[in-house]
Structure formats: structure tokens, C-alpha cells
Structure 1
Amino acid sequence: MRTTAAKSVCVFCGVILLLSCLLPMPAAGADVSYAWVKQDTGSNRQLSGVSCADASHLWASADSGKSLFYNGASWSEEETGGVGTFAGISAADQNNVWMVGNNGRVVFFDGTSWSNQASGTGSYLVGVSALDAGNVWAVGWSGTIVYYDGTNWVTQETGYIYDLRGVDALDASHVWAVGTGGHIRFYDGAAWNDQPSGIADILWDVDALDASHVWAVGWDGTIVFYDGTSWSRQASGVTDELCGVYALDGQHVWAVGSSGTILFFDGTSWSEQESGTVLGLSGVSGLDSEHVWAVGDNGTVLLGQTISIESCSPATARIGETARVEIVGSNTHFEDGKSAADFGQGVSVISTTVTDETHATATITISKDADAGPREVNIVTEDERPVPLSGGLTVEHSSFYFAEGTCRPGFDPYLCIQNPGAGDAEVKVTYMLGDGTTREETLTVAA
């Protein structure tokens, strides 16, 4: 089972009071089809990491020996029995959760309560990754790596003296640890070895989707990617410190950091997503594209969800027709006077009337020259551009029915079809024979 572990802590200071009075604005090229919504935690603690077991078992590591827990409906604070600051958290499942922190502190949740575990080190432990109940790695200052085998924590020799800040275990023979100076260490199941990253920046976190898709993030907007052979830099487009990374799949990867920065990778390039906050974000984790959480300063928890068009009714309209269409959005923010419906080529929008943030009515006219076929349906509200509803409206040609009749011998029936459009038109003619059977002819009528 691949865990969604939060593995590192970033500390932001100095600029928060100044920036808190500024309104965040969407960056050029920002992804505006994804919404981050603040969840009320009732806490002002510094949250350093987040990890999900499932949609109703989610933990965030915090300062003052605390953790926050989400049960699918609300957040609550938990006593862990530990003291000091916890810097990383990882949930293998709902009954096996670890948090690590200063002075080598490790606490464990068994599904009922938290208890202390002896790590055997006094080093500051910053990151942790739990593969399962018997394979857990924690990393920290001075190259410290400790391993839990289901019974005890033991030190693993690395031959490394620099601070490590993040760790992720794909399986027992694919474990990465990152840290100071761009150093990346790799565990193959037998020993830790160096993997050259090609950079010298501090790396804060790492997440492995599989053996050939691994991302690490860090100082000054640094993102590096491992393809199974070597590490290479990816352009982030920002200079903010990046503190957490989470890969759902090859087309859905998030990185978070200082000043509320959230970046998204779609499989080709990174773009910014509007977070709605200027507070520092330290960790990100998720289950699917509708369940992604980012956490950070002052008890901040953000839930990310796709903004999309969910339905369109009626779903068909005929050429030349004027119709009222009801549109329903998901996680949208429709606003009267600012939202505009769009149905694509050949469909004119006369008006868009908003009922609430997720419901609107569009009055449309189908051009006489419109091509028949499906259209994407969307409603754009200023910078918000939802994922459109593909095939939400289908433009149909009109059907005509003629009176039944017969022809006397020597007379031939005929039907005159004229095309007033700018392009060729396809016409289907269905007729009945004397024996009651029907035939269909398809004709192309030139413009």
C-alpha cells in the first residue's frame, strides 16, 4: 500500500504580518479550474505535515505535542503524550500512524490512543514515511535515519553527515531521503547510497509515485524529478520555498510552500493554483483529485477540489431554436453580472442569470448555420474557468413529417430539399413502401 505521508516541516517567519494585509491575486498562467477551500480547524497551531489513511481518517502534525484529526466531517485536537514540536507525520492505515519531532521524539497511534516510542536517537527527526506496520523510516539532522521493524527503532548507517528533511518509501527496496545541499539518498533494501540531484539547494520533501516517477522540492522554487535513471530540474515558475509535495498520478502532482504557494503538475508543466491565503503551507497529501489537503501556519487546512460543470438541461436543442438551459456547477462560484455561459460555435448566449454559486440559467439561440453535434458547456466567472461539461449540449437538425399518401401509376413522387446554410448539409430521408417496410436514404445537399 502506498502511503500519502507528510514528511517535512518548513518554518516561515518575518513577512507574515506584512503580507497578511494583501489580497492574493491569481498568477499569470494559473490553473483556475481547481478550488482550495479553507476548513475550520479551531486551531492556531503551526501545522507541519498531513497524512491520510482514508477520507475519514486524516491527521496533521502540530507544535506543542499536539496533532489534529479529521473524521470526515470536522477537525479536532488530540493529545499525543509527547512534548515539543512534531515535524512530520505518516499514516500507513487508520491503526498505524507515526509522528516525529525534536529530540528524537516518536509517537505512535494504534487506532485508539497515542503512545511514545523510543527512537534510539536524540537528533531532531523531521520526516517520516510508513510503508506498513513493520516498515517505517524517519530522517533528521546530521544524516540521521532510523528504521522501525514493527518492534524496535534501529539506526541505519548512511555515511552521511548533512541534515535530512524528507523521506518517502515506495516499497522496502525503494526509499528516498532528501536534505541539505540538494543531497538525495536512496535505499535499495540493503544500503543507503547517493543519487546525484544536480543541484545544491536545500530539499524539503520527496514523494515517489513509482520507481520512475519521483519528485523532490525545496528552496527557491526548486523541483527535481527522477525518471528511474537520473534526476533533472523541472521549471516551477516560482522562487518561493517549496516544503511539501504529493503525487496522485503522473498528471496530478501538487507542491506547496511559503506565502500560500500551491503548484500543480499536469504531466507536462507546473502552474500555480490560487490558495486564497498568504500563510505558509508546509505539507500536502490526498486520496484522489477531490480529496487533497494542504496544511500550514496558524492552523491552516485547505481542501482542494475540481471546479467543473456537472449538468445541463435540456441536453439537446434544434437549429434555429431559442431555449433556456439550466446549468449546474460543482465547486463553482457563479456570480450574477460576472458569469458568462459558453456553448461553442454556432450557439449565441443571450443572457446568463445566476441563481446561486452553483446554479445558473442561460438563454441561447442556435444559429441556422450551426453544425449539428455535441458542444462543451461552460460558465466562466472572471478568472474562474471550470472544467467544461463535454457533450453537455447536442445541436440537432430539425425533423419534418409529411402527410401519408399514394401515387397513381405513371406518377413519380418527389421531395424538394433546399439548403440555406453556408456549409453542406446531411439529410436523412425515411420513407415507407407499399408492403409496410421502410427505407432510409442519406443525402448531401450542397450549400
Structure 2
Amino acid sequence: MKTLIKNGIIVNSDGQIKANVLIEDEMIVDIIAHEVEADKVIDACGNYIMPGLIDMHVHFRDPGQEYKDDVISGSETAVASGVTTCLPMANTFPINDNSSITRAMIQKAKQRGLIDLLPIGAISQGLHGDRIVEMGDMIEAGAVAFSDDGLPVSDSSVMRDALEYSRGFNSFVISHSEDCSLCRKGVMHEGAVSTILGLKGMASEKEEIMISRDMLLAKLTQGHIHIAHVSSAWSLKLIELAKQQGINITCEVTPHHFSFSDKNLLSYNTHFKMSPPLRGENDIQAIREALKSGLVDVIATDHAPHHTDDKFVEFDNAPFGILGLQTLVPLTLKLVNEGVISLERMVELTSANPAKILNLKTKGKIAKGMLADIAIIDPNKEYVYDESINKSKSKNSPLFGQTLTGAAVMTLKNGRVVYDFPHCL
């Protein structure tokens, strides 16, 4: 079957072009200036045609907490965001620390058929931080990387083993950078705002200390360390130093960390409670500069659904986490509109670089011979992010009920339309 996407602006990490995309079955077979006959014609209406977004950090709560989200609702939320590939973290119940869980997650996603689900396996058995998992078995089952996200690996010897073993399998380790001895039961960033609110704070040094350790272990082992959800200015300075010294390190930031600050917690809104916490204005500016300069490799959502009842409690007792998938495009486009990054850089951060890190050779670019994973993005689309738009089972976003600008209005996976924004195109 042939599909033609016409009247769009193709945006790749290396440039833009007004052209049409010809798809045959699952692949892009040509980029052309003219129209040709096709079984299906999609009019992009002057919108951006981008490679399908790749989210390297999500929590689908499946297995074990499917009332918050599951692989099915997570897949539906992803394609409504222009995301065609997701990497769910291992802190499920039971933990994804063995090949059986990995295979079950992948199979469930394949049955729904909306996204490519590439599980991240646990580093340690049961997330206990003492013995690493059977990485070879899990990679054979489909795991692509390893992380105890939600918990740090406090034992340096265990992290060293993880880096060495993952390197042997051409894989990598994702660090949840947190020195728990400095957490002190904190629930937000330690600073003036936490003092005003009377809430226990978490110093940014708890993140920076662990990043320092992990970059040194990556230097020792020559393994690849990927730093998740970087939130502080000093963390970025450390990562920059590591890159200058040739250490194999990459990093990601989230939309909420470049969009909100600890001042948003002045209302005690638990939807702004997350880990790592929202930091100060200087940290936001540092993240934005790092996005602009190229220091940051990836934008990932850390999509973390929680039931309304879980969040509707005292601030100290509310769980950490925020929805992120369906606000990825509008918050990132806001950076573009503010001149922080270009559209090309947006594609680099959300698709091209993740594809490179994960060695996905047919993803991350709109070009002949690439998989037809495509997001058609309308940068001017205004809508209320409410029940009619939300695909997650949860609603824990401070943006819920607000008017947003910019959306994926159509998503194609393997050349097949898997999402069409209501009343668009």
C-alpha cells in the first residue's frame, strides 16, 4: 500500500524542506516535490512533518499498578503525543528484572500495535541494589538498557559491575542520580521557597554527588552512563566536564524541569511534586542554555502517572511524579517560540539523538529508506488539555484543564495512521 503525505514541511535535525513523503507499506520510499498516485493521500496542511518522537523515559505502571496506566493506555497516550517509541522503566510490580517480564511487556505492546516498546531492565535484582540482573538474558528478550530508576544504586561496586557488563553487551546504564543520605525526607528543592512553605527540602548536591561518582565509574570502566532527568546547574557543569574529558556520558532533561520552578509549589499543588524536584530559576536557565548549546542530548518526559486519590493528600504524603507525554510537544515548542532552540534542534533532542543512542538505524529521520514513523505537528493548534484529549488513565498534571498551543495532529507508525487529533486534517 502506498501513502502520500503532501503539503507539509519536513523537519529533520539537519534542516527543513517543503516536500512530500511517499510511503510504501512500512517504509519511506521517496521524498519528492511533486504529487504521485497513492492508495491514501494525507494533506499535512502546511504543518511540520517530523520523525516519530522517541521517549527514553516513561513509566507505564505495567505490570502491577494498571489502575494508573498500563501498556495499552500508555501506548495510546504516546501516539497522541507524536511518540512512536517508548522506553518504560523497570520499577513495576513485579520488577522488570528478568526476561519473562521483559517479553510480557513487549508482547502486550505488540498486541495493541501502536508503538515500539523497548523496555529498560533493572540494574539490580528486585531493585535492592546489591546484585545485578542477568543482562544477557534480558537483552536477548528485548531490553535495551538498565536502570533502577526511582532508586539510586548506592553501592559503587554494583554500579561498576553494571557498567562493565552492559558495555560487554553494547548496552548502557541509566542513572537515577541521588545520594539518599542527603535526602533527609525532603519533598521539594531545598531553598528559600521550601523555607517559606515549611517543607523539608532536598539539596541539589544529592544529585550532583551521584553524577560525580557515576561519571568517574564510567571513566574507569569505559562504559556508557546516561544521566536521567538532570535538574541542576552544577549537574550540567559536571556532565560538560565529563564530555570534555572523553567520558562516555549522555544526559536527558524533562519538559517540567525547563518549564517550572520551585516557586510553582507556593500553592502546595501536589501535581508539581516530583523527583528530582523542581529547582530554582538559575537551574532552569542553565538547563535552557544546555539545550541551546548542545550539551543536553535528549528531552524525555519521565511520564509518571498517579491516580487522583494518590495525589489528593497532604503534600508530604503525595507521591512524586507528573504526567509528561501529552505535554511534551507544547512545552518543547514553547522553547522554539522563545528562541531557545530551533525546530531542527527539537527533532535532534526528541528523535535523532535517542535513535543514535539506542542504535535504531531506521528511526530518527524523515528520509528514503527510513521506517515510516512520523508525527505531523501543528505548532499553532490551540486546545484545552482535558478529558476529551487526555489518553492516560491518570490526570496528575498541573496543566490539566489549561489551554495549550502545539500538538501532534496525526501520528503514523510503520506507515499506518495510529492517531488523528479530533477534528484535525
Question: One fold, TM greater than 0.5?
Answer: no
Q: Which has the higher contact order (CA 8 A, sep 6+)?
A: 2
Task: Choose 1 or 2 for highest CA Rg.
Answer: 1
Give the structure-1-normalised TM-score: 0.27
Indicate the structure with greater helix content: 2
Indicate the structure with greater strand content: 1
Give the structure-2-normalised TM-score: 0.28
